[in-house]
Structure 1
Amino acid sequence: MSDFFQSNTDIIQRRWPLVAARLLAEDPSPLQADLVEGLGSTLSINGIQLTSRHDRTREAQVQAASLPDDSLVLHVYGTGLGDLQLQLLQRPQLKQLHVHLLNGAVFALVLQLLDQQPWLNDPRIELHYAGDLAEICLPFFALPAELVLADDYNAKIRDRLISETHLTFNNREFDPQAADIVERLQASHALLQGDGDVAALFGSQPGRGVFVIATGPSLELHFERLQAIRAQAERPLFICVDTAYRPLLDHGIRPDIVVTIDQRISARHLPAANTAAITLVYMPMVDPQMLKDWQGPRHAAYSASPIYQTIRQQLPRGELYVGGSVIHPAVDLAVKMGAAQITLFGADFAFPGDKTHAGWGDGDLGPQLIAAKHWVLDGHGQRIKTQLNFRSYLCELERYIAGHPQVRFYNTSRAGAMIAGTTFHPEIAV
C-alpha cells in the first residue's frame, strides 16, 4: 500500500466511512494505467486521459468557468486528478461541493498514485458514489473521461448526465421558426380542425390493463402470445408505436390505437388499408397525406415543444409527454386513459441479438448496428450494445415512471435494457 493511499484513505475513513469501505473493496488491478506526457503530464486509464496532458490547471479553470459563480452548492461527477475540485474550492461563497464517483476502481487507483488530501480535507467537500442517488443533481460538471470510464453501478447516472449535457444540441432541430416546421404545421391545419382531440380519450379506460408495444428486437419473442391475447373477449388495450404497426400486422395482430409523432413517418410505416377500426393518435408534424389516408378515427395531440405554441392557441388540444421517442406519448396516453397497469413490449432501448428493431432490416429505421458504440445494462445485468439517443430515451421513460407511482409498470424482456421502476411480468417476461 502506497503512502499516498494510506494518507488519502485515512481522510475518507474519518469523514465518509461507508465510502471508504467500498473503496477499499475496489480492485484497480484490471485497469491499464499509463503516464502520458505533453507540455505537462496526466494519467491515462485504459487509453482514456483523465485530464489534459498539457495544462491540467488551465483545463480545470475552463471547466470551473462553466458553473455559475454564485452557486452555494455545486456537483462534480468524476474525480479526475482533483484539479477541478481545487479550482472550485477557491470560491469563497461556495458552501458545499459534492463529488460523485463514477468509477470506484479508477478513484482507488488515483488515491494510490497521487496526493488528494488538499481537496479531501476541505470541510465543504461531500463524497458519494454517483449511483447511490436515483437522479442527477444540478448544477454540475461531469468530467468527460469518467463519463467514458463509468462502471456498471454508476451507469444509470452517467446516462442521465450525458442526456442532460446533450439537451440543447438535441433540441436544435425544433426551432418554431424553421421553414420546414412552419410549412408542415400549415399543411396539417385543416386536418387538425376536423379531427378529434386526444383529450376525449383521457379517462376512458379507468383501471384497465394496457399493453404498450414498441419495436425493439425482443418484440419478436412475443408475437404468438400477443396474437392469442388479442383474440380474447376480455383483454388489455393494445397501444402500439408507429414503427411497430407493420410488424404486428404481419403477425395478425391489430392494435386498438397507434401513436405517431415523427415527421419522417409515412405510409410505408403506417399503411392505411383496413384501418377503419384502429384509432390514430398523432401530433401535427406527421405527414398530412398519411393522415388523410387513414380510415379510422384520428385524435390530435400536442407535446410541450415550443413548435406547437402558436397552433395550440388557435386550436387547443390535449397534451402528451414526449421525451425524444414515440414510446413516451404512447405510455403517457395509456396513463391518461386511466391505466392501472402498463405492460411494455419491445421497449429494449438497445440491440439484443445484434438486431436494431423487430420486423425491420438493419438501418431501415435509423443507424445501422455497426453504429452502436455505447452500452447499457440488460435485464441480466450484462452490457448490451446501444446508441446514445436510446440511452436518453430510456432515461426519460424512467423519469416518467418514477413520477407515476400509482401505475404498475411491467417489462416483458430481460434481453433489452433494464428499465428502472418496472418489474418483469411474472407470466410474460422472457
Structure 2
Amino acid sequence: MSESFHCNAQVIQNRWPALFTRLLDEDSEALQADLVEGLGSTLSIAGIQLTSRHDRTLEARLQAGSLPPESPVLHVYGTGLGDLQQVLLERPTLQRLYVHILNGAIFSLVLQLLDQRQWLSDPRVELMYAGDLSDIRLPFFVLPSEMVLADDFNARIRDRLVSEVHLSFNNREFDPKSPQIIQRLQDSLELVRSDRDVAELFGSRAGQEIYVIATGPSLEQHFDKLRTIRAQAQRPLFISVDTAYRPLIENGIKPDLVVSVDQRISARHLPPEDSDNIPLVYLPMSDPQVMSAWKGGRYVGYSASPIYAAVRKQIAKAELYVGGSVIHPAVDLAVKMGAMQITVFGADFAFPMNKTHAGWNDGDLGPGVNLARHWVLDGHGQRVKTQLNFRRYLNELERYIARHPQVRFFNSSRAGAMITGTAFNQEFVQ
C-alpha cells in the first residue's frame, strides 16, 4: 500500500475500526481510473470526473452553498476528493458532519493517492457506508459523480437520493393551479359526490391475506396459479391495479377489486364490458367518462396531494396513500382493509425478461426496454434494467412497508427489483 494510504488508514482504523476492515476488502484495482488535467486536476472513474478539473475548491464552495448555513448537522453522500468535507468543516456552527460512502472502491483509491487526514481527523466527522442506513438523512448534498458511480451495496440509498433531488421536478405536473387539473376535478365533481366513500371498505378484511397484483413482467409467471387459487372457496382477496386488470381478465382471472389513480387511464385499460360486480376504487383525477362506464360499484377517495384541497372541503372522503404509482394506493387499501399478510405480484419496478409489462406490448404503457438507462438489483442480487421513475416508486413502497411493521409483506418473484421489507412467498418463488 502507498504511504498516503498508510497515513489515512491510521486515522480510519483508530476512529472506525470496523469500517477500516471493510475498506481493506474493496477492489480499487478493478476501477478504470485516469488522471484528468485542466487548470487543476482530478480523477476520472470510468470516464466520469469525480470533481472539477479546473478549481475543485471553488466547486466545493458552490456545492456547500446549497446547504443551510446554520444547520448544526449536515450529510454528504459520496467522498469525492475530500474538498466538500473540508469546506463544510470551516463552518463554526457545524457540530456534526456525516460522510456517507457511496462507492467503497473509489474511496479506497482516493485514500491511496491523496492525504485525507485533515477532514478524517476532525472530531465532528462521522464516516459510514451509505447502505448501512435504511434511508437518507437531511439536509444533504450528494456528489453528482458518485450518484452515478454508486456501487451495488449502496445502490438503494443512491436511488433514494436521486428521488429526493428530483422531487420538485417530479411534482411539476401536480400544480393545483394548473387549468387541466382544475378542469378535471370540476368534471369529476358529480361522480365524487355520488359515489361511495372508500372508507366503507376499511376494516372489511381484518386479519386476512390479500394479493395486490401489479403489471410487471413477472406477473405472467403466475397466471395459471392465480387462476387456480381464484377458483377456491377459501382464498386471499385479489386487488388489481388498473393496468393489470385487462391481462388478468384475458387470462380468466377476475379480481375482487380494481384500483385506479392515473388521469391517463382509458377504456383501453379498463374496458367496462366484464366489470359487473367488480368494485372500482379511484381518485378524482381519474377520467370521469371511464369511471362512469364501469358497471361495478365505485368507491372514491383522495390522496394527500394539495390538488385535492379544494374538493376535499366540499366533499368528505377518506384518503389513500399515493407515492407516484397506482401500486401504492392498492397496497394502502389492502392495509386499511385490515390485511395481516400481503403478497405483491408483478411489483417488479424493472424490466425482467427484457419486457416492460405483463400482457402489454413493449412501449404500450411507457418507454420501451431499449430506452432503459438505469438499474436496480433483483431478487438474485443481479442488476436488472429499469427506468428512473420506477426506482422512485420502489423507494416509496419500501418506505411505506417500513411504516407498517404490523403487516407481513411478501414478494411473489425474484425476477424484479428486490423490495426491502418483504420476504419471498415460497408458494410462488422457486
Please confirm whether the aligned pair reaches a TM-score higher than 0.5, indicating the same fold: yes
| Equivalent in the alignment of 2:409 | 409
Residue in structure 1 matched with residue 124 of structure 2 by the alignment? 124
Aligned counterpart, 2:375: 375
CA distance in 2, matches of 1:204, 1:113: 63
User: 1:298 — aligned with what?
Assistant: 298
Task: Please identify runs of 4+ aligned residues in structure 1 that moved more than 3 A.
Answer: none
Q: In structure 2, what is the Cα distance between the partners aligned to 1:344 and 1:336? A: 16
Query: Structure 1 residue 396 and structure 2 residue 396: aligned?
Result: yes
Aligned equivalent of 2:179? 179
**Which whole-Å CA distance do the structure 2 matches of 1:328 and 1:198 have between them?**
15
SS in 2 for 1:222: helix
Alignment of 1:149-160 (within 5 A): 149-160=149-160
* Shift in Å, 1:38: 1.7
Aligned residue in 2 for 1:283: 283
- Give the partner amino acid of 1:141: F
The one-letter code matched in structure 2 to 1:107 is F
The CA RMSD measured in Å over matched residues stands at 0.7
Secondary structure of the 1:29 match is helix
The one-letter code matched in structure 2 to 1:357 is: H
After superposition, give the CA deviation of every residue in 1:259-306 in whole Å (9 maximum; x if it has no partner): 000000000000001212100000011111111110110000100000
User: How far 1:389 sits from its partner (Å)?
Assistant: 0.5
Aligned-pair distance for 1:121? 1.2
Map of 1:357 onto structure 2: 357
Give the Cα separation in 2 of the matches to 1:407 and 1:25: 37
> Would you say 1:211 and 2:224 are equivalent positions?
no
Give 2:269's aligned residue. 269
Corresponding pairs, count: 430
- Cα distance between partner residues in 2 of 1:16 and 1:193: 60
Measured in 1, the distance between the counterparts of 2:118 and 2:362 equals: 52
Match of 1:259 in 2: 259
Residues 289-368 of structure 1 aligned to structure 2 (within 5 Å): 289-368=289-368
| In structure 2, distance between residues paired with 1:387 and 1:274 | 33
Q: Distance in 1 between matches of 2:274 and 2:400?
A: 34
Describe the SS at the equivalent of 2:29: coil
Alpha-carbon distance in 1 for matches of 2:363, 2:53: 39
Q: Which residue of 1 aligns with 2:56?
A: 56
Q: 1:65-76, aligned counterparts within 5 Å?
A: 65-76=65-76
TM-score (normalised: structure 2) = 0.99
Q: Secondary structure at the match of 1:343?
A: strand
CA distance in 2, matches of 1:135, 1:168: 19
Rounded to whole Å, the distance in 1 between the matches of 2:324 and 2:127 is 33
Deviation string 1:77-131 (CA, Å, 9 cap, x unpaired) is 0000000000000001101101000010100000011111111111111100111
Secondary structure of the corresponding residue to residue 365 of structure 1? coil
Counterpart CA distance in 2 for 1:138 and 1:194 is: 43
Looking at structure 2, the residues matched to 259 and 62 of structure 1 have their Cα atoms a distance apart, in angstroms, of 45
Matched, 1:232 2:232: yes
- The residue aligned with 2:166 is 166
**CA deviation digits over 1:61-89, x for unaligned, max 9?**
01100000111111000000000000000
SS at match of 2:123: coil
Distance 1:429 1:279 in 2: 29
What's 1:81 paired with? 81
Deviations 1:350-384 (A, max 9, x none): 00010000000111001111111111000000011
TM-score w.r.t. structure 1 length? 0.99
Instruction: Compute the displacement of 1:39 (Å).
Output: 2.0
